[in-house]
Structure 1
Amino acid sequence: MTDSETGMHPSPPPSRTDDELAMLDVTALLRYGIGFGGAHRTTLFGDGAVGAAVVLDRQGVLPRAMAFLAEIVRSGGTTYAAALPEPVPGEAAAQLVRGWLQSAASVVRTVEGDQDVARWLQSVAALMALRLTYRTRSTRSGG
Protein backbone atom coordinates (compact mmCIF):
# COMPACT_ATOMS: atom_id res chain seq x y z
CA MET A 1 0.00 0.00 0.00
CA THR A 2 1.13 3.54 -0.72
CA ASP A 3 1.10 6.37 1.80
CA SER A 4 -1.95 7.90 0.12
CA GLU A 5 -3.83 4.59 0.39
CA THR A 6 -3.08 4.21 4.10
CA GLY A 7 -3.78 7.86 4.87
CA MET A 8 -0.26 8.27 6.22
CA HIS A 9 2.13 10.97 5.15
CA PRO A 10 5.75 10.30 4.30
CA SER A 11 8.15 11.03 7.12
CA PRO A 12 9.01 14.71 7.43
CA PRO A 13 12.41 15.92 6.31
CA PRO A 14 15.06 16.17 9.01
CA SER A 15 14.95 19.31 11.14
CA ARG A 16 17.43 22.08 10.45
CA THR A 17 18.89 24.56 12.89
CA ASP A 18 18.61 28.31 12.44
CA ASP A 19 22.31 28.40 11.56
CA GLU A 20 21.81 25.79 8.82
CA LEU A 21 18.80 27.63 7.41
CA ALA A 22 20.65 30.95 7.52
CA MET A 23 23.37 29.46 5.32
CA LEU A 24 20.96 28.58 2.48
CA ASP A 25 21.50 30.35 -0.84
CA VAL A 26 18.25 32.32 -0.89
CA THR A 27 19.33 34.04 -4.11
CA ALA A 28 19.43 30.70 -5.93
CA LEU A 29 16.26 29.48 -4.22
CA LEU A 30 14.42 32.55 -5.52
CA ARG A 31 15.79 32.13 -9.03
CA TYR A 32 14.74 28.49 -9.25
CA GLY A 33 11.63 28.67 -7.06
CA ILE A 34 10.11 31.55 -8.99
CA GLY A 35 11.51 30.46 -12.35
CA PHE A 36 10.64 26.77 -12.29
CA GLY A 37 8.00 26.24 -9.61
CA GLY A 38 7.20 22.70 -8.43
CA ALA A 39 9.55 21.29 -5.80
CA HIS A 40 11.81 24.34 -6.18
CA ARG A 41 8.94 26.62 -5.18
CA THR A 42 8.07 24.36 -2.24
CA THR A 43 11.65 24.67 -1.00
CA LEU A 44 11.60 28.44 -1.55
CA PHE A 45 8.42 28.91 0.48
CA GLY A 46 9.56 26.41 3.13
CA ASP A 47 13.22 26.35 4.09
CA GLY A 48 14.03 29.39 1.95
CA ALA A 49 11.49 31.62 3.67
CA VAL A 50 12.58 30.45 7.13
CA GLY A 51 16.25 30.95 6.24
CA ALA A 52 15.54 34.46 4.95
CA ALA A 53 13.57 35.26 8.12
CA VAL A 54 16.46 34.07 10.30
CA VAL A 55 19.04 36.13 8.41
CA LEU A 56 16.93 39.29 8.40
CA ASP A 57 15.97 38.87 12.05
CA ARG A 58 19.66 38.62 12.95
CA GLN A 59 20.28 41.86 11.06
CA GLY A 60 17.57 43.66 13.01
CA VAL A 61 15.08 44.02 10.17
CA LEU A 62 11.51 44.25 11.45
CA PRO A 63 8.71 42.14 9.94
CA ARG A 64 6.81 45.25 8.86
CA ALA A 65 9.70 46.23 6.56
CA MET A 66 9.31 42.98 4.63
CA ALA A 67 5.51 43.29 4.60
CA PHE A 68 5.88 46.80 3.19
CA LEU A 69 8.33 45.54 0.57
CA ALA A 70 5.80 42.87 -0.43
CA GLU A 71 3.27 45.66 -1.06
CA ILE A 72 5.81 47.55 -3.17
CA VAL A 73 6.40 44.42 -5.28
CA ARG A 74 2.63 43.92 -5.61
CA SER A 75 2.18 47.52 -6.76
CA GLY A 76 5.30 48.24 -8.77
CA GLY A 77 6.75 44.85 -9.64
CA THR A 78 9.89 42.96 -8.71
CA THR A 79 12.15 44.89 -11.10
CA TYR A 80 10.99 48.20 -9.62
CA ALA A 81 11.60 46.99 -6.07
CA ALA A 82 15.04 45.62 -7.00
CA ALA A 83 16.07 49.12 -8.10
CA LEU A 84 15.18 50.75 -4.78
CA PRO A 85 18.22 52.25 -3.06
CA GLU A 86 17.09 50.87 0.32
CA PRO A 87 14.46 48.12 -0.01
CA VAL A 88 14.73 47.52 3.77
CA PRO A 89 16.42 49.57 6.51
CA GLY A 90 20.11 48.99 7.13
CA GLU A 91 22.91 48.99 4.57
CA ALA A 92 23.89 45.31 4.86
CA ALA A 93 20.28 44.09 4.93
CA ALA A 94 19.36 46.36 2.01
CA GLN A 95 22.23 44.98 -0.07
CA LEU A 96 21.21 41.40 0.75
CA VAL A 97 17.52 41.92 -0.03
CA ARG A 98 18.35 43.85 -3.21
CA GLY A 99 20.35 40.82 -4.39
CA TRP A 100 17.38 38.57 -3.67
CA LEU A 101 15.07 40.89 -5.59
CA GLN A 102 17.48 41.12 -8.53
CA SER A 103 17.65 37.33 -8.68
CA ALA A 104 13.87 37.05 -8.68
CA ALA A 105 13.54 39.88 -11.21
CA SER A 106 15.83 37.99 -13.59
CA VAL A 107 13.19 35.27 -13.99
CA VAL A 108 9.87 37.09 -13.42
CA ARG A 109 8.13 37.64 -16.74
CA THR A 110 4.50 38.19 -15.71
CA VAL A 111 2.35 39.94 -13.15
CA GLU A 112 1.71 36.48 -11.67
CA GLY A 113 5.47 36.13 -11.16
CA ASP A 114 5.51 39.45 -9.30
CA GLN A 115 2.63 38.19 -7.17
CA ASP A 116 4.60 35.03 -6.34
CA VAL A 117 7.55 37.15 -5.19
CA ALA A 118 5.21 39.35 -3.13
CA ARG A 119 3.66 36.26 -1.51
CA TRP A 120 7.13 34.95 -0.65
CA LEU A 121 8.12 38.29 0.90
CA GLN A 122 4.87 38.29 2.89
CA SER A 123 5.64 34.73 4.05
CA VAL A 124 9.08 35.85 5.22
CA ALA A 125 7.46 38.77 7.09
CA ALA A 126 4.97 36.42 8.78
CA LEU A 127 7.76 34.07 9.88
CA MET A 128 9.76 37.01 11.21
CA ALA A 129 6.71 38.17 13.18
CA LEU A 130 6.23 34.68 14.65
CA ARG A 131 9.87 34.55 15.71
CA LEU A 132 9.62 38.01 17.28
CA THR A 133 6.39 37.14 19.11
CA TYR A 134 7.81 33.88 20.44
CA ARG A 135 11.04 35.56 21.54
CA THR A 136 9.10 38.36 23.28
CA ARG A 137 6.85 35.88 25.11
CA SER A 138 9.81 33.70 26.09
CA THR A 139 11.64 36.72 27.49
CA ARG A 140 8.61 37.82 29.52
CA SER A 141 8.05 34.34 30.96
CA GLY A 142 11.71 33.94 31.83
CA GLY A 143 12.25 31.08 29.36
Structure 2
Amino acid sequence: MPPAPDSRSDDEVLAATDVTVLLRYGLTQDAFRTALFGDGAVAGAVTLDRLGVLPRSLVFVAEIVRAGGLAYAAELPEPLPDPEPAAVLRDWLTEAARTATSPEAEALAARWLKAVAELIALRRTTPTPQNPGELPD
Protein backbone atom coordinates (compact mmCIF):
# COMPACT_ATOMS: atom_id res chain seq x y z
CA MET A 1 0.00 0.00 0.00
CA PRO A 2 1.48 3.40 -0.95
CA PRO A 3 2.06 5.90 1.83
CA ALA A 4 -0.68 8.41 2.55
CA PRO A 5 -0.11 11.77 0.86
CA ASP A 6 1.07 14.59 3.06
CA SER A 7 -1.89 16.40 4.49
CA ARG A 8 -2.17 20.07 3.70
CA SER A 9 -3.96 22.71 5.68
CA ASP A 10 -6.92 24.59 4.25
CA ASP A 11 -4.65 27.64 4.00
CA GLU A 12 -2.20 25.72 1.83
CA VAL A 13 -4.94 24.39 -0.43
CA LEU A 14 -6.56 27.80 -0.81
CA ALA A 15 -3.22 29.53 -1.39
CA ALA A 16 -2.75 27.23 -4.40
CA THR A 17 -6.11 28.28 -5.88
CA ASP A 18 -5.86 30.11 -9.20
CA VAL A 19 -7.58 33.36 -8.28
CA THR A 20 -6.98 34.74 -11.76
CA VAL A 21 -9.10 32.01 -13.33
CA LEU A 22 -11.86 32.52 -10.77
CA LEU A 23 -11.88 36.26 -11.56
CA ARG A 24 -11.96 35.56 -15.29
CA TYR A 25 -15.07 33.43 -15.06
CA GLY A 26 -16.67 34.67 -11.85
CA LEU A 27 -17.01 38.26 -13.03
CA THR A 28 -18.58 37.31 -16.34
CA GLN A 29 -20.59 34.13 -15.73
CA ASP A 30 -23.23 33.72 -13.04
CA ALA A 31 -22.44 30.00 -12.69
CA PHE A 32 -18.97 30.85 -11.29
CA ARG A 33 -20.01 33.76 -9.06
CA THR A 34 -20.40 31.62 -5.94
CA ALA A 35 -16.93 30.13 -6.43
CA LEU A 36 -15.44 33.61 -6.88
CA PHE A 37 -17.03 35.04 -3.76
CA GLY A 38 -16.51 31.80 -1.79
CA ASP A 39 -13.25 29.96 -2.34
CA GLY A 40 -11.89 32.75 -4.55
CA ALA A 41 -12.31 35.43 -1.88
CA VAL A 42 -10.81 33.20 0.80
CA ALA A 43 -7.92 32.24 -1.50
CA GLY A 44 -7.31 35.91 -2.27
CA ALA A 45 -7.36 36.72 1.44
CA VAL A 46 -4.94 33.90 2.31
CA THR A 47 -2.57 34.94 -0.48
CA LEU A 48 -2.56 38.65 0.32
CA ASP A 49 -2.55 38.13 4.09
CA ARG A 50 0.56 35.96 3.78
CA LEU A 51 2.15 38.87 1.91
CA GLY A 52 1.26 41.30 4.70
CA VAL A 53 -1.40 43.35 2.90
CA LEU A 54 -3.47 45.55 5.19
CA PRO A 55 -7.23 45.34 4.67
CA ARG A 56 -7.51 49.13 4.36
CA SER A 57 -5.08 49.09 1.42
CA LEU A 58 -7.31 46.66 -0.42
CA VAL A 59 -10.43 48.67 0.39
CA PHE A 60 -8.67 51.70 -1.09
CA VAL A 61 -7.97 49.77 -4.31
CA ALA A 62 -11.62 48.65 -4.38
CA GLU A 63 -12.68 52.30 -4.26
CA ILE A 64 -10.30 53.08 -7.12
CA VAL A 65 -11.87 50.24 -9.12
CA ARG A 66 -15.34 51.58 -8.37
CA ALA A 67 -14.40 55.15 -9.33
CA GLY A 68 -11.98 54.64 -12.18
CA GLY A 69 -12.51 51.08 -13.40
CA LEU A 70 -10.45 47.93 -13.46
CA ALA A 71 -8.15 48.99 -16.29
CA TYR A 72 -7.26 52.21 -14.48
CA ALA A 73 -6.57 50.36 -11.23
CA ALA A 74 -4.50 47.71 -13.05
CA GLU A 75 -2.25 50.42 -14.47
CA LEU A 76 -1.46 52.02 -11.12
CA PRO A 77 2.31 52.01 -10.61
CA GLU A 78 1.88 50.89 -6.99
CA PRO A 79 -1.60 49.51 -6.27
CA LEU A 80 -0.22 48.32 -2.91
CA PRO A 81 2.76 49.67 -0.92
CA ASP A 82 4.98 46.58 -1.24
CA PRO A 83 6.21 45.28 -4.62
CA GLU A 84 5.41 41.56 -4.22
CA PRO A 85 1.74 41.89 -3.22
CA ALA A 86 1.38 44.77 -5.70
CA ALA A 87 2.48 42.45 -8.50
CA VAL A 88 0.01 39.76 -7.41
CA LEU A 89 -2.86 42.24 -7.21
CA ARG A 90 -1.89 43.85 -10.52
CA ASP A 91 -2.07 40.43 -12.22
CA TRP A 92 -5.56 39.90 -10.79
CA LEU A 93 -6.70 43.39 -11.79
CA THR A 94 -5.26 43.05 -15.30
CA GLU A 95 -7.06 39.76 -15.91
CA ALA A 96 -10.28 41.13 -14.45
CA ALA A 97 -10.02 44.24 -16.66
CA ARG A 98 -9.45 42.06 -19.72
CA THR A 99 -12.59 40.02 -19.17
CA ALA A 100 -14.96 42.26 -17.19
CA THR A 101 -16.10 44.78 -19.76
CA SER A 102 -19.41 45.85 -18.25
CA PRO A 103 -19.98 48.34 -15.42
CA GLU A 104 -21.76 45.57 -13.50
CA ALA A 105 -18.71 43.31 -13.70
CA GLU A 106 -16.46 46.14 -12.52
CA ALA A 107 -18.77 46.78 -9.57
CA LEU A 108 -18.60 43.06 -8.75
CA ALA A 109 -14.81 43.23 -8.84
CA ALA A 110 -14.85 46.12 -6.36
CA ARG A 111 -17.23 44.15 -4.11
CA TRP A 112 -14.95 41.12 -4.36
CA LEU A 113 -11.91 43.18 -3.32
CA LYS A 114 -13.81 44.48 -0.31
CA ALA A 115 -14.83 40.92 0.59
CA VAL A 116 -11.18 39.87 0.43
CA ALA A 117 -10.26 42.80 2.69
CA GLU A 118 -12.93 41.77 5.20
CA LEU A 119 -11.62 38.21 5.23
CA ILE A 120 -8.06 39.41 5.82
CA ALA A 121 -9.32 41.46 8.76
CA LEU A 122 -11.18 38.44 10.13
CA ARG A 123 -8.10 36.24 9.78
CA ARG A 124 -6.15 38.72 11.88
CA THR A 125 -8.73 39.10 14.63
CA THR A 126 -9.96 35.51 14.98
CA PRO A 127 -7.80 33.22 17.13
CA THR A 128 -6.55 30.13 15.37
CA PRO A 129 -7.38 26.84 17.12
CA GLN A 130 -4.39 24.83 18.27
CA ASN A 131 -5.90 21.61 16.96
CA PRO A 132 -7.47 21.58 13.48
CA GLY A 133 -10.74 20.07 14.73
CA GLU A 134 -11.02 22.43 17.69
CA LEU A 135 -13.15 25.55 17.50
CA PRO A 136 -12.21 28.71 19.40
CA ASP A 137 -14.24 29.48 22.56
What TM-score do you get using the length of structure 1 for normalisation? 0.81
Q: For residue 25 of structure 2, what is the aligned residue in structure 1?
A: 32
Which structure dedicates a bigger proportion of its chain to helix? 1
Q: What RMSD, in angstroms, separates the aligned Cα atoms of the two structures?
A: 1.8
1:75-103 superposed Cα distances (whole Å, 9 cap, x missing partner): 00011001011111211100000000011
**1:94 is aligned to 2:96:** no
1:61-84 superposed Cα distances (whole Å, 9 cap, x missing partner): 111111111100000001100101
Q: Which runs of 5+ in 2 are unaligned?
A: 1-8, 131-136
**1:53 is aligned to 2:58:** no
> Matches of 2:81 and 2:37 in 1, distance apart?
23
**Aligned residue-pair number:** 122
> Matches of 2:89 and 2:83 in 1, distance apart?
10
Of 40, 55, 66, 2:58 maps to 66
Q: CA deviation at 1:37?
A: 2.2
**1:105 is aligned to 2:97:** yes
Q: For residue 12 of structure 1, what is the aligned residue in structure 2?
A: none
Moved over 6 A (4+): none
2:121 maps to a residue whose letter is A
1:91 maps to a residue whose letter is P
Q: CA deviation at 1:135?
A: 4.4
Between the aligned residues of both structures, percent identity stands at 53
SS at match of 2:101: coil
Of 97, 117, 134, 2:126 maps to 134
